[in-house]
Structure formats: structure tokens, C-alpha cells
Structure 1
């Protein structure tokens, strides 16, 4: 890696009847990364990303037709997607004639890049494609058709939500209005718009001096392409490997637009960045560069940038490229959750007091294609959890998902439960969650790419029972902790879910302790309760499925099993009923 960022070198390339201004940085014998900007930007929007990539890559940027220092066609039809794609290939051929380029694009740059990567021979010239905040218009057209053909409440909600995001497209089709807005006020206040709406710190080089002209000419992008492609979508698959970087605070491109992308892109990797439409490049450029660098290195078979990430094997699934930490992974809900994540593409960092059991889970996950490592960790030991988090980060990277699952069962009334028993239950069930949230939450916020924390509570969190004093208290505390943490982590793009299972068939009943009983009585009670849970026959795999759904949908509180959902409703509508039922000696 060089000591200083290479200065850009300017050249010109002739596209389809237009002159294109091109800038290059870095050594030409390195992998070529071609950056394509959107509307109403120029190549300067990539400054931070290009600077971070240039030490290890040949970085190329250009002003697209109608923007910056490139030519400005006078006719609307000269802004059609097929011409923009031809420009892209002309630049790629000029700067990297004998080697395919790694394409990275944002906004309208991404829309026109989709046009290029979905051409039949694209794989010959494009080695990989990283897309930010710009879908393929043909894919969107099919996305709309499928939802109109099956107008479920969810589909209607998605359509209305995206319509709200896309209000400006209609304005851009009105004569006079949009050009006048840019010429008479909006261009001069664009830095204020970005600061207020996106949190972008003003800088001298952005917005560019040519913004008003760029914005007015760029309106033709919308008028020449939007309606034809949305109303008459073409079949546009691609075999180019694609990395889709979703932006959690994007005001223009909704996350639902990516739901059907897998049917068009067999080799798809997805990440979510806690950023807005423009702040992703102008405030978090190094983070974007890191994602691009990892993807390029993987495709080139080169060493990864320092600090290897999770998910380097090209596995597929909704959690492909993600790293999930699961505590208490040696069995029950922990093992089922770990294997469910592995089956959906995630890699794993697992821990349990029983190292052999955790290693067995890792072995099973490996059979599903996951990279999984196991540690022996006592989650009630704060320094041990801190050390575990540090080792995971060093070995596998900062996790995207953390499941604080480890827990123990205990039954006893308040007066029966000894101080030692209280301490044991709270140390594992509450402090274990606190330690996990603190150790991994700090790493996730520092990384700045969002994520999700899952805390295993219980229906006992809102279902009082006089014979579960310590256990119910610990789980109620986990539920409230999750609510408080969710509010704090929202600003970092990190979701928090509290999972509240009811009666689930796991091994926890075989190790549950009971106050006031000798060893023989303990064993008899454990056997009886285990039989009761077995008769209920609700498997941990169903809980795991709800955990994955909670992460995907960023759900706050998830009651699992019928009794958990019913108790949740009663706790809100008729809490007196639950207080009366709490007096029963259930389980005795």
C-alpha cells in the first residue's frame, strides 16, 4: 500500500457520439474499479471512495453524458439507457482493454450500469458489479406487475411506500417546473438540502459549480427512460456477480425493490449500510470502499483487505455475507438458530459452556456450507465475553447479527429462592445478555454498518407466576433492556429484537433447578417437567425461524407459540386475569 493517495490523471474517451471526461488513479496493473456517478452529481461524488481504493486498485471515474466536463447532448433521446451503457463500455475498453473491470455505481449511475451488466456478453467485460441505490428499471417494472397481479395488503403497502419515495419522478416529467426549480433556487441551496436531509458536512468541492446545468440536462435521464422501461419491462437477467448495498436511510429507493432480485441475479450478495442516499458516499466513503475492496479481492482471488470479513465463499441466501454470533449454541434454540442462519448463507461464531456441544454445532453448520468457529464462554463473566468478542472480530470480523440466547431455568417462589439462586439466574439470564450487548454492540456501532441484536427473553417476561420469581424477573429485565437498547441503537442502524418463547421442547428443562428440593426431588421434578414440554412438542427450529424473521423484518418483540401470543394480548387487555393466574402452582 502506497504512502500517499495517487493524484487523478485526466483523459478523454469518445462514447456513442459524445466526449467523456475520465479520471484515473492508482497503478494500472492493479484490478480496475470503474465508478459511475448518479444524478445530479459528477465524478467528484466518489472522491472519498476513490481515495480509499486507489492505493490497491486502478480507480477510474468519469462524468456521464450531460454532466460535469463531459459532452451535453441536446436531444432527449440521446440520454437513453442503451447509449449510456455504450458509454460505460467505451470507458472500460479504453482504460482496461485486456481485462474486465469491477463496476461500482450509485443512483442513476447504478440504473445505467444495470443496463450494461444485463447485456448477454457483459461477463466478458465486467468482473463484478456493486450497486448502491439504483435498481434496474426493467426489474422494477416486473416488480410492480407482480404486486399488481397479487394485490395482498403487504404488496399494496410496498407499492404505496415506493410511490411515496418516488414523488419527484412525476415532477421531473412536468414541463418547465423541474428546470425552473433547479435554476432558480434549488441548485444554490443544494448543500443545505444535503446537510439537513442527509447529515452531509458541507465541503468546498461539493456540490460542483456546474450543478444547475448538470441537473437540468440530467432531467432527460428520467424523461427518456422511466416510463418506457416501467411500462414495457424487458427480461434482464445477468450472470455477473452482484453486490447490492442497501442504504437504511435512503429517502428515494425503498428496500422492498430488492426483494425479487434473486430471480434475475443468481450470484447475489447483499449488505445494508446505515446511511442515506448521498451520505453513503459523502460521509461513509471509506466504509463503501471497504465493501468494494472485499468484493473485488474475492473475485480476483487476491488477499483480502486487513481484517477479513465474514462470508467470503460466495454462498447464497438472504444472510449471505453476514456473520452471526450465537451464544448458548450447544443445543436447543441456540443450535437450531445457528443452523438456520447457516442454511440461509450466514457464517457463524458460536459459544457455549459446553465446548464439545458448540463444536458439534459448528460441524453441522459446516455441512451446510458455513464457516463456523466455536468457543467455550461463560456469558455471566463480563471479561470473558469481552475477550470472546475481540477474538471473533480478529478472526472473522465484526458480526452483523448477535443472538444472546444462553440462559438457564429455575423454579421457586420468592421466599423459597435463595440469594445464591437469585444470583445464578440473574448472572446468566440478565448479565449474560448485558455482556453480549455491550461487547458486540460497541464493535458494531464503531464499524458503522448497522446490524441486529437478538435477545432471548420469554413469555414469562409478561406472564407472572409465583413459582418463577427469579426466572420471570430476569426475563422481564431482558425485555425492558431490549426496549431501551433499541432506542439507543436506532441512530446507528442496529435493530434489537426480544424473542419471547412459551413452552418449547429443549434441553433447558433437564437442567432447570428447583428451590427447596434435594437431589432426588430435583431429578424427579426435572423429569416430570421435561415430559410436559415434550407433550407440547413445539420444536426449537420453529423458534429459530421466528428469530430469522425478526432479523429480516427488524421486529421489536416476537412472542413465539400460541400461549406466548395469548399471554401477550392478555397482558395488555386484561392484566388482572394474568395476576390472578399467577397464584397457581403451575409446574409443581
Structure 2
């Protein structure tokens, strides 16, 4: 277990209400202050990964709640953890670290429960610029939620009460005398890190710290001093006086998403986000949280701005666009072959959904341009990387850099590819090597390196491999290209089976005739340079007349990830050929013998 100090932080102690609070600061104190409040049974180190990312842009402050970490405990413990006293602590810390400007508050678990109090009581008005809530409701809002369902019960409302009641089993346990303290200072405290790794997939990276047993024992009084009293008599005026960003993990085993159904009643300026993760997102998804917090804080700091969901809505409208924003907002998406065509359109589509985008291409300028435009379109962040996907060593360097600087990829789109036309006997071994190196080995490198990182994190993810209708539609003119794409299709199917148990989906996208630059750069085996140029121009003209835009393929990719589809034929001819390959393969073989137009 770790030492209880955040790496690189400046620590000091703030005295308030008979306790000393250990406060850690990172980043430039002249920038806006982001104040992170931890939950139960944590200490401030739960935020270390998020804090390090935010410190590049803000003055970041973390403090150990009274009785936790390096902060002292009140005496006596009973009555020493009321929300009123916790509010005193917050104001003391805020006044010490940001006396002249309001702070941007972020809370997780009981840190969020506290922060709801801070954001809704009158005496803190003007001290909070924004509040990001993660996995912790207001006890007042919760109390009203319960009363409404008990006063006017329906089968649905009773089901919600029973569901949340089952999830809250630990709350009842923590109200029992002595037993929680004995458990945490005994076997539970020793097993807790292992439980977090196994159940929550929290990395074993020095967290939790050695103060865990005493933190958890003291923190039991957070529940005893507050829960029953507030749920019985919730405040009627618990309205937020600052904009709120609500981040709801969809896999939270302690809290039902329905708890926040009527939150707009209490929060006039509300931004909602969901993340496909479990409860301890500060440890499992620090990059995604940091990105959302950064965007929300910047929005709140802008003169006259009101942070709202409209800021991160995709350009496309409708129910599907809302689903994209909910699913991909803040996620890290890497797209290869992103300098043009389907790759660029896919990068833009994820950008519109609010994702963080890494655009990869051997054309470095093109990748940088895609990243620049993605940022303008709506990407939370975007970067361009120059890499040849066929170069194993280069891909290994890219994977290491992305993990170290941007985080673990949530969605990988292996899209880079080259075209090659010509009969089998006109195709040289060198031609075969070039097309397989990019179209197949590039996909293998991406799946192996980034897929391994996804699996190692243990939080799921999705891999999209761009195959082609040529993967199942034979052609006498495309033996090498079709073989490479058929291999990608089968690789995708095999990986899908292997990774299903780890929550990682795999999709093979099979476009047909799409109007992209691949026709202008495709090689034609067995002809001279002049004839190759003529055929490239003719193919480009034919594809231009077909005029199926790459943006439709990009939309199909996002929808495939959203719905976890295995094989996605795109364009009418690709769907038709896919059906024929299953039901009338003889007819498809007959079509394969037709001489293509030259």
C-alpha cells in the first residue's frame, strides 16, 4: 500500500473545528481551482490519477476528510461527522486555497454526498463555481425521492424502492455498533484491496493506502451522523446554486440510476453524462473523468457561459445522436487511416459525440489536420499521430505513448488499408507482402497491442476492424485485396469469441463501393505506370458516380459499437452480396467470373 501522499503535491494542514485537515495542491495556483472530495472508505489518494491529469490545466486541491488519511479525527467521534461540520471543513479549505475566487467542486461517493450539501446550502453561495457529482446523491434529494414513492406507490415505484434498498445493504450494516470497526480493522481491511481488484477491476497500483482500516472505521460515522436524520426530514429548499455535472456509472452496484430521475427539480443548470463503468471510476476511468471535468470547468469559467448538455451535443440530431453522446462522450477513440476517407469521417463522427480522438495515419500532416478539425467539431480532445500500421515497432511505440499520455483506448478502429487490383498471376510476392502488411498485419498489430491494454484494464471496450464486401464476395480482379479482407473478417470473428468474456466487443465493418481516396492510390498489378494511372482515374470516376459518402460508413461504425454488432455490411451492394454469400453462393461465384470494366 502507498504512503498516503499524492506524487508531486504540495501538502499543508488547515485547522478547523478542532481537527487538522491534510490538504494537497498540484498545478499553478494562479489558475482556476478544482477541489476534489473523496468518498468512503477512501482517502484523497483515490483522486491521484485524475488530479495528475487536471493539474496540467488547473490548480488542483485534494484534502483528506476529517478522520481519514493524514487528517485528524474529531473527539468524540459521535456527532463529529455531521454535514454541517463537513461544510465548515470545506469552507475552511476553500478559503485557504482560493480566498478570492470560487472553486470548482468534484465529489465521488460520500465526497459527492457532502458536496451536494455544500452546493445547496445558503452559506456557501458564491464559493462554488461548478459541481461535478459522481456516484453520490444528495441525502435531501434521496429523502424526497423515497417519500414520493411511499406516498404514491405504483408497481414501478415500489420496484425502484426495493431495488435501491437491496443495493443499500451496506448502509444498514454501517449503522450497527462496533461491528464495522472490528471488521475494517480486521479481515475486511486486509481483503479490501483484493476485493477492489477482483470486483471493480481497480488496478493494483498502490491504492488504497495503509490508512484504510482507520479511514473506514472513522468513516462509518458519516452514515450514523447523517443518513437517518436527513432521509426522515429532508430539506425542502435543497436547490443547487451552481451548475452541476452529473456523471452516472451504469454498472454501479451501490446506486440505481433512477435515483436521479427528478434531479432537474433541484438543479436548474444540469449536465448529465453516463459512463460504462462500476463504482470506483476515479481509479478505473481517470482519463475520461478528467476530460469531462476539464471541459465542464472551462465552460463554467467562460464569461457568460452556462455549462449544459448542449455544449457537447453532436452536430447530428435525433435519438441516435443522443445515444452516441451518452455512450462515447469523454471516451478515448483511436482511428487508423484517419487522414482521409472512412477514417477521417469516423474520427469526425466520434468527435461530434464528444469523444477524445487519436487520429493515426502514415500521412502525419493529414492526421494532424484530422485532429485539428475534430477538435473544432466537438471532440473533448484530439491528437494526430504519424505511424505506419504495418511497422510492428512503430505500432508498439504508438501504443506505449497513447497509454502513457492519453490513457487506455475505449474504442479502437483499425481502418488503415490499401487497394490492389490484378489477376493472381500478375500479382507478385512483393505485391502480396505490401497489401497483407497493411490490410492484415496492421489490424493484427492494433488488436494485439491496444486490445491487450483494454483487457488488462478490465473495464471492457470495443474493437472495430474495417474489412470489405470483398471479404465474402470473390472477384477474379482482387485476389490479394479480397484475401486480406477475408482474413480480417475471420480474425474479427475469432477475437469476438475470445474477448466476449472480458466485455470487449469486436465488429467487422464491410463497406462496398464508397467514395474515398483509396481508388486514387490503389495499385494495379501487371500494368505499366501509365495504364495504372488511367485505371486509377477510371475507378475514381466510377466510385464518384456511385457517390456513397464515407460519413454513412462512419455512422454505421458508431451504431455497430453502440449495439455490439458482429458483422456490418455497409452500402446496398455489400448487404446484397452478404445475403448471397449465405443463401446463393453459386450465384456469387458466377458473378466473380465477370470481367471488371477497365
* Same-fold call, TM cutoff 0.5: yes
Q: CA deviation at 1:337?
A: 1.9
Distance change in 2, residues 1:34/1:553 (3 Å): farther
**Aligned match of 2:16:** 12
Q: Deviations for 1:478-498, whole angstroms, at most 9, x for unmatched residues? A: 234445556777899876543
Q: 2:433 aligns with which of 415, 420, 423?
A: 423
**Aligned match of 2:317:** none
TM-score by length of 1: 0.66
Written as runs of structure 1 = structure 2, the 5 A alignment for 1:205-224 is 205=210, 207-209=212-214, 211=216, 214-215=219-220, 218=223, 223=228
Distance change in 2, residues 1:33/1:534 (3 Å): closer
Instruction: Tell me if structure 2 keeps the 8 A contact 1:505–1:534.
Output: yes
The separation in 1 between residues aligned to 2:6 and 2:521, in whole angstroms, is: 57
Instruction: Tell me if 1:61 matches 2:64.
Output: yes
**Aligned match of 1:331:** 340
Contiguous gaps of at least 5 residues in structure 2: 147-155, 302-309, 314-324
The separation in 1 between residues aligned to 2:187 and 2:501, in whole angstroms, is: 26
Written as runs of structure 1 = structure 2, the 5 A alignment for 1:169-318 is 169=167, 171=169, 179=176, 189-191=187-189, 192=191, 195-196=194-195, 198-199=197-198, 205=210, 207-209=212-214, 211=216, 214-215=219-220, 218=223, 223=228, 238-239=242-243, 242=245, 244=247, 250-253=252-255, 277-278=279-280, 280=282, 316-317=312-313, 318=325
* Count of aligned positions: 542
Instruction: Tell me if structure 2 keeps the 8 A contact 1:42–1:68.
Output: no
Q: 2:110 aligns with which of 108, 111, 123?
A: 108
Distance change in 2, residues 1:266/1:184 (3 Å): closer
Instruction: Tell me if structure 2 keeps the 8 A contact 1:22–1:63.
Output: yes
Q: Deviations for 1:152-192, whole angstroms, at most 9, x for unmatched residues? A: xxxx9xx99x9998453464787x99738955996554343
Written as runs of structure 1 = structure 2, the 5 A alignment for 1:293-442 is 316-317=312-313, 318=325, 324-346=333-355, 348-352=357-361, 361=370, 364-365=373-374, 368=377, 377-385=387-395, 401-411=411-421, 414=424, 417-437=427-447
Instruction: Tell me if structure 1 keeps the 8 A contact 2:421–2:481.
Output: yes
Distance change in 2, residues 1:194/1:526 (3 Å): same
Q: CA deviation at 1:107?
A: 1.0
Q: Secondary structure of the equivalent of 1:379?
A: coil
Q: CA deviation at 1:218?
A: 1.2
The separation in 1 between residues aligned to 2:339 and 2:50, in whole angstroms, is: 44
Instruction: Tell me if structure 2 keeps the 8 A contact 1:120–1:238.
Output: no
**Aligned match of 2:304:** none
Instruction: Tell me if structure 2 keeps the 8 A contact 1:359–1:374.
Output: yes
Instruction: Tell me if structure 1 keeps the 8 A contact 2:288–2:331.
Output: no
Q: CA deviation at 1:506?
A: 2.6
**Aligned match of 1:168:** 166
Q: Secondary structure of the equivalent of 1:499?
A: strand
The separation in 1 between residues aligned to 2:105 and 2:461, in whole angstroms, is: 26
C-alpha RMSD of matched pairs (Å): 6.0
The separation in 2 between residues aligned to 1:560 and 1:504, in whole angstroms, is: 9
Written as runs of structure 1 = structure 2, the 5 A alignment for 1:444-455 is 453-455=463-465
Q: CA deviation at 1:539?
A: 1.8
Instruction: Tell me if 1:506 matches 2:516.
Output: yes
Q: CA deviation at 1:420?
A: 3.3
**Aligned match of 2:319:** none
The separation in 2 between residues aligned to 1:143 and 1:534, in whole angstroms, is: 57
Distance change in 2, residues 1:57/1:418 (3 Å): closer
Distance change in 2, residues 1:580/1:143 (3 Å): farther
Distance change in 2, residues 1:215/1:59 (3 Å): closer
**Aligned match of 1:582:** 589
TM-score by length of 2: 0.65
The separation in 1 between residues aligned to 2:234 and 2:466, in whole angstroms, is: 46
Q: CA deviation at 1:333?
A: 0.9
**Aligned match of 1:457:** 467
The separation in 2 between residues aligned to 1:412 and 1:143, in whole angstroms, is: 68
Contiguous gaps of at least 5 residues in structure 1: 14-18, 145-155, 302-313
Q: CA deviation at 1:113?
A: 1.6
The separation in 2 between residues aligned to 1:214 and 1:329, in whole angstroms, is: 49
The separation in 2 between residues aligned to 1:294 and 1:128, in whole angstroms, is: 11
The separation in 2 between residues aligned to 1:140 and 1:252, in whole angstroms, is: 14
Instruction: Tell me if structure 2 keeps the 8 A contact 1:450–1:493.
Output: yes
Q: Deviations for 1:108-155, whole angstroms, at most 9, x for unmatched residues? A: 3213323434678968313554544335689999999xxxxxxxxxxx
